[in-house]
């Protein structure tokens, strides 16, 4: 029988910098990006990889054949035991948090003591698919589709993800000026965090790349306001107020209390619980709101009890809508900048924001934090962690 009260800890995490679209990391497949983050994590923690029971690998677009084997190949390349199994997880933008929740359940159910949880995405490598080449076409050309573009478009409701953010902007009366200001501030917060050496400790450099490439140091509000709306003529979403399309990976080790004591480790946070919910796909960006509220209800907490939030910035207007709906104090939300500034490597994002959140709780000596993301197709996911 499992033990719901069995405690689960985040030992530590490490990530690559996030490379801009077509940038420094574009030639590294997702598994190799995850290997870099994992090896840096193992080196930092001095954890013996042979003591890890499973690998859970979050990935959305299997951009190379190797990525289809991601969890297993990551285990083998990082010298875990031959018997160590690997699993791939895809809950779109919530994949990283979902991987943490799955790993936590294994530990709570006494099926594992310690796991490697990793997420990676190389959006630069997202392939174009050719249909009809295997058996031919009777008439006309072969059909080619861009898997990256299709990932950002929900065929069920025939809407681009950007339009779902515009729908929220209409509902919450969010202007382009509001979105531009939010995006500008996301860059400012990230730049200030870099200047204070707050972000660098979570990054494992890749060759000469040691900083998130999507982040603009010379960002100005004036330039942000000059960008034209992408999806609607009078809309709020521009190239500057959408999350950056980037490449990158993040890895974490989570473990039971027994494992922590046995190996004399100092965890950075405890995983308390999480929730996943469904929402209307045409307003998918609101997903964090019901997910967070359901999580708080289950844990018998309120918004005011949570010291810090990391809500993924899929779009500035979407993030503002969640902020408004939850009535979160802006000083507690995405305090080191978000995906508008740093980028959103789909499978890695949930792990990245959770790692950042855990480090923020340590840095500021705060108790509770929630990481959350909206999910294409109309879902929301949220994770509650506690400073150790």
Predicted model pTM: 0.97
Cβ-contact 6, 107 below 8 angstroms: yes
Q: For residue 191, how far is the Cα from the chain centroid? A: 19
Q: What is the pLDDT of residues 192-231, one digit of tens each?
A: 999 999 999 999 999 999 999 999 999 999 999 999 999 9
* Residues 6 or more apart in contact with residue 46 via CB below 8 angstroms: none
Q: What pLDDT shows up at residue 4?
A: 59
Nearest to 170 by CA among 318, 280, 277: 318
**Closest Cα partner for 111 from 26, 1, 229, 22?**
1
Rg (Cα) of the chain, in Å, rounded?
20
272-387, CATH topology level: Peroxisomal Thiolase; Chain A, domain 1 (3.40.47)
CA dihedral sign, ordered 284, 288, 292, 293:
negative
Residue 329's CB: how many other CB atoms inside 10 A?
A: 11
Using an 8 Å Cβ cutoff, are 126 and 151 in contact? yes
Listed in order, strand segments (DSSP E) in the chain are: 8-15, 19-20, 54-58, 86-89, 114-122, 128-131, 143-146, 153-154, 159-160, 246-256, 269-278, 308-311, 368-375, 379-387
Mean pLDDT by 10 residues, the chain (388 residues): 76 98 97 98 98 98 96 98 98 98 97 98 96 87 93 96 98 98 98 98 97 96 96 95 97 98 98 98 98 98 98 98 96 98 98 98 98 98 98
- Euclidean distance between CA atoms 326 and 153, whole angstroms: 27
DSSP string, 276-340: EEE--GGGGGGTHHHHHHHHHHHHT--GGG--EEEE--SBHHHHHHHHHHHT--GGGBSTT--HH
What pLDDT does 1 receive? 36
Active site includes 374? yes
Residues shown for the chain: 388
Question: Cβ contacts of residue 270 below 8 Å, gap of 6+?
Answer: 7, 8, 9, 10, 385, 386, 387, 388
Exposed e or buried b per residue across 147-175, where buried means at least 16 C-beta atoms within 10 angstroms of its C-beta: ebeebbebeeeebebbbbbbbbbeebebe
Residue ranges covered by each domain of the chain? 272-387
Options 209, 250, 322, 374, the catalytic residue: 374
pLDDT recorded at residue 3: 57
CB 383 within 8 A of CB 287: no
Assign residue 217 a region (left: φ > 0; alpha: ψ between -120 and 50; beta: otherwise). Answer: alpha
* Residue of 93, 209, 250, 322 marked catalytic: 93
Query: Most distant CA pair in the chain: distance in Å?
Result: 67
Torsions phi, psi for 10 (to 5 deg): -90, 115
CB 255 within 8 A of CB 132: no
Name beta bridge partners: 143.
131
């Amino acid at each position: 029988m499992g033990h719901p009260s069995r405690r689960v800890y985040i030992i530590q995490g490490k990530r690559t910098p996030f490379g801009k679209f077509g940038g420094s990391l574009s030639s590294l497949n997702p598994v190799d990006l995850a290997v870099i983050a994992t090896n840096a994590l193992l080196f930092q923690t001095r954890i013996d990889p042979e003591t890890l029971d499973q690998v859970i690998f979050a990935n959305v677009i299997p951009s190379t054949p190797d990525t289809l084997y991601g969890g297993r190949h990551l285990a083998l390349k990082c010298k875990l035991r031959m018997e160590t199994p690997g699993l791939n997880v895809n809950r779109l933008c919530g994949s990283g948090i979902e991987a943490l929740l799955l790993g936590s359940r294994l530990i709570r159910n006494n099926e594992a003591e310690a796991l490697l949880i990793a997420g990676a995405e190389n959006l630069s490598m997202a392939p174009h698919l050719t249909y009809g080449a295997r058996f031919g076409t009777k008439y006309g050309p072969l059909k080619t589709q861009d898997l990256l573009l299709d990932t950002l478009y929900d065929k069920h409701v025939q809407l681009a993800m950007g339009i779902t953010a515009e729908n929220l902007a209409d509902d919450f009366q969010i202007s382009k000026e509001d979105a531009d200001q939010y995006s500008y501030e996301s860059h400012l917060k990230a730049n200030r965090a870099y200047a204070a050496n707050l972000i660098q400790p979570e990054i494992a450099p890749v060759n000469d790349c040691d900083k998130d490439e999507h982040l603009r140091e010379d960002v100005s509000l004036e330039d942000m306001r000059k960008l034209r709306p992408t999806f609607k003529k009078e809309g709020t979403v521009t190239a500057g107020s959408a999350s950056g399309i980037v490449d990158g990976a993040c890895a974490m080790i989570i473990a039971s209390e027994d494992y922590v004591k046995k190996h004399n480790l100092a965890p950075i946070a405890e995983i308390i619980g999480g929730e996943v919910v469904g929402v209307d796909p045409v307003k998918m960006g609101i997903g964090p709101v019901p997910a967070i509220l359901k999580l708080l209800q289950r844990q018998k907490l309120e918004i005011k009890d949570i010291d810090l939030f990391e809500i993924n910035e899929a779009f500035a207007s979407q993030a503002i809508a969640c902020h408004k709906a939850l009535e979160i104090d802006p000083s507690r939300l995405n305090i080191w900048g978000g995906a508008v500034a740093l980028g959103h490597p789909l499978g890695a994002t949930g792990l990245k924001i959770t790692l950042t959140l855990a480090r923020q709780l340590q840095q500021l000596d705060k108790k509770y934090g929630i990481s959350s993301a909206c999910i294409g197709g109309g879902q929301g996911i949220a994770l509650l962690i506690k400073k150790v």
